[in-house]
Amino acid sequence: MHYQFQFADVFAAWPLLLQGTWITIELSFTAMLLGLVVAVAGAWAKTAGPKPLRWLVNIYIEVIRNTPFLVQLFFFFFALPSLGLRWSAHTAALTAMVVNLGAYAIEILRAGIESIPHGQVEAGLALNLRRHQIFRFVILKPALKAIYPALTSQFILLMLSSAVVSAISADDLTSVAANLQSQTFRSFEIYIVVAVIYLLLAMAFSVLFRLVYQWTLNYPDRR
């Protein structure tokens, strides 16, 4: 096999690749922030909420964790519009990513919360702290510190899984790559470049998460 690599067409389309990369970053980062909010609320509901709420959260987790992300994406983009809820591909992709991440992150955060010794909670009560203060300062921060590596790994997995949103024509990096492939027919070169971009994004997010850990969760330990 004598294959000649020709990256000229790929590099000539760098503005499109850059735009697709930025949309992937925007989607992923927004989904991470919103998914973390869902995770905190869901973990609280599952560990300290009323029984009906715990029941609903458990159903949500089981449904999301036992169905493919692609099916969830199609549900938000194709199924819900038939009920009158119409939104763009970008909004549907973001919603599906948040819902998917939330289910996994709830279980990760719940494990961290349940690892906190009950004595710390009793100490918070002895100091006359309110319930929300105990959850925020005594439970949540140590729990996040304990499960931070697992949580950030799930964040990076979400970013890589965002490539699936191209199936509903969301203008992410993979969607741009598919359009370039149909125009240039340089599949090998295009997907080599795209794979390298995803690798660099994963490494960049890893560095960012380490910095966040040092600046926030680990800050008191450095004083």
CA distances from 19 to 26, 124, 166 (A): 10, 49, 14
Under 8 Å between Cβ of 181 and 157: no
* Res 219: pLDDT: 59
Q: What is the model's pTM?
A: 0.88
pLDDT for 175-221, tens place per residue? Answer: 999 999 988 888 889 999 999 999 999 999 999 999 988 887 665 54
| Angular region, 84: left φ>0, alpha ψ -120 to 50, beta rest | left
Q: What percent of the chain stands above pLDDT 70?
A: 93
Which fold does the domain 12-218 belong to in CATH? MetI-like fold (1.10.3720)
pLDDT for 37-88, tens place per residue? Answer: 999 999 989 888 889 999 999 999 999 999 999 999 999 999 988 888 888 9
Domain parsing of the chain, residue ranges: 12-218
For residue 204, the surrounding DSSP H or E stretch is helix 187-212
Using the predicted structure, report yes or no on whether residue 1 has a pLDDT greater than 90: no
Question: How far, in Å, CA of 123 to CA of 118, rounded?
Answer: 9
Which residues in 185-215 are b (16+ Cβ under 10 Å) and which e? Answer: ebeebbbebbeebbeebeeebeeebeeebee
